[in-house]
Amino acid sequence: MSSVYRAIIQRRTIRRFKQKKIPRSLLKKLVNAGRLAPSAANLQPLEFLVIDKKELRERLFPYLNWAGYISPLGNPPVGKRPTAYILILINKKKENPLFTPYDVGASAENIILTAWELGIGTCWVKSLDREKISALINLPKNLILDSVLALGYRDEMPRLEVWRNSVKYWKDKAGCLHVPKRRLSDVLHINSLSSSIL
Ligand SMILES: Cc1cc2nc3c(=O)[nH]c(=O)nc-3n(C[C@H](O)[C@H](O)[C@H](O)COP(=O)(O)O)c2cc1C
């Protein structure tokens, strides 16, 4: 199995992290992976802010929302919080707003998969207090905060489940997160949309 496909199959969103520091060289590598993602019209409107300083991390954390379906059970507890963040920023002077969400998605996934291959777990956080974070980082007017990628060496391993009747993930008594995914046969059509082929 190729390493990209293996990372795609194995990757899960991680919300509990070991407190081992991620080297700056790896954080740079992750941003490099984000920078090289496909970009509509090759506009490349994204910029990235890495936050790894403890004091700044602690001030950022309360502005992030975790695992809405099971809140507050998905909140990373003290001692298991992210050890770094990559903030994905949109440069308004460079973007076409119709295209930008696709660029963000492609960049974020490049970062997430590269991180996974390096043993680093991520949580893509879009539910956040944009105003408070923008103030915290002194975001200039030409930049918009889109998403925060929370990072750290993983300290949990959620389990993939076959979708039954709900998209909602859940935690079992042991604290393991279970994540349902629709079956391939629910989403794949070949040549005709009228029949399922698997
Ligand atoms: C655009 C986007 C926004 C997300 N925002 C949040 C968020 O604000 N907080 C959070 O805990 N998880 C967030 N997630 C993670 C999803 O909850 C997670 O991807 C989903 O439950 C499926 O789990 P999996 O990533 O392990 O496949 C987000 C994911 C995406 C793609």
pLDDT tens by residue, 136-185:
999 999 999 999 999 999 999 999 999 999 999 999 999 999 999 999 99
User: Is residue 196 very low, low, confident or very high in pLDDT (cuts 50, 70, 90)?
Assistant: low
Task: Please provide the distance, in angstroms rounded to a whole number, between the alpha carbons at the two ends of the chain.
Answer: 22
Q: How far is the CA of 53 from the centre of ligand 1 (A)?
A: 24
Q: What integer pLDDT is reported at residue 177 of this predicted model?
A: 98
Decide whether any atom of ligand 1 lies within 6 Å of the 126 Cβ.
yes
Instruction: Specify the CATH number of the domain 3-157.
Output: 3.40.109.10
CATH number belonging to the domain at 158-198, selected among 3.30.830.10, 3.40.50.10420, 2.20.180.10, 2.60.120.260: 2.20.180.10
pTM above 0.85, yes or no: yes
Tally Cβ neighbours within 10 Å of residue 58.
Answer: 10
**How is the chain split into domains, by residue range?**
3-157, 158-198
Q: What integer pLDDT is reported at residue 140 of this predicted model?
A: 98
Q: What integer pLDDT is reported at residue 106 of this predicted model?
A: 98
Nearest CA residue ID for atom 25, ligand 1: 13
User: Is residue 194 very low, low, confident or very high in pLDDT (cuts 50, 70, 90)?
Assistant: confident
Burial class (CB in 10 A: 0-12, 13-18, 19+), 60: buried
CA atoms of 172 and 191, how far apart (whole Å): 40
Decide whether any atom of ligand 1 lies within 6 Å of the 121 Cβ.
no
CA atoms of 96 and 83, how far apart (whole Å): 33
Helix (H) or strand (E) run with residue 198 in it: none
Decide whether any atom of ligand 1 lies within 6 Å of the 61 Cβ.
no
User: Is residue 125 very low, low, confident or very high in pLDDT (cuts 50, 70, 90)?
Assistant: very high
Same topology between domain 3-157 and domain 158-198: no
Q: How far is the CA of 13 from the centre of ligand 1 (A)?
A: 7
What is the pLDDT averaged over residues 42-69?
A: 98
State the chain's mean pLDDT as an integer: 96
Nearest CA residue ID for atom 28, ligand 1: 124
Q: What integer pLDDT is reported at residue 1 of this predicted model?
A: 76
pLDDT tens across 81-99, in order? 999 999 999 999 999 999 9
Q: How far is the CA of 66 from the centre of ligand 1 (A)?
A: 8
Decide whether any atom of ligand 1 lies within 6 Å of the 16 Cβ.
no
What is the pLDDT averaged over residues 108-113?
A: 98
User: Is residue 2 very low, low, confident or very high in pLDDT (cuts 50, 70, 90)?
Assistant: confident
160 DSSP β-pair partners = 179
16: Cα within 13 Å, side-chain hemisphere: 10
- Portion of the chain with pLDDT greater than 90, in percent: 96
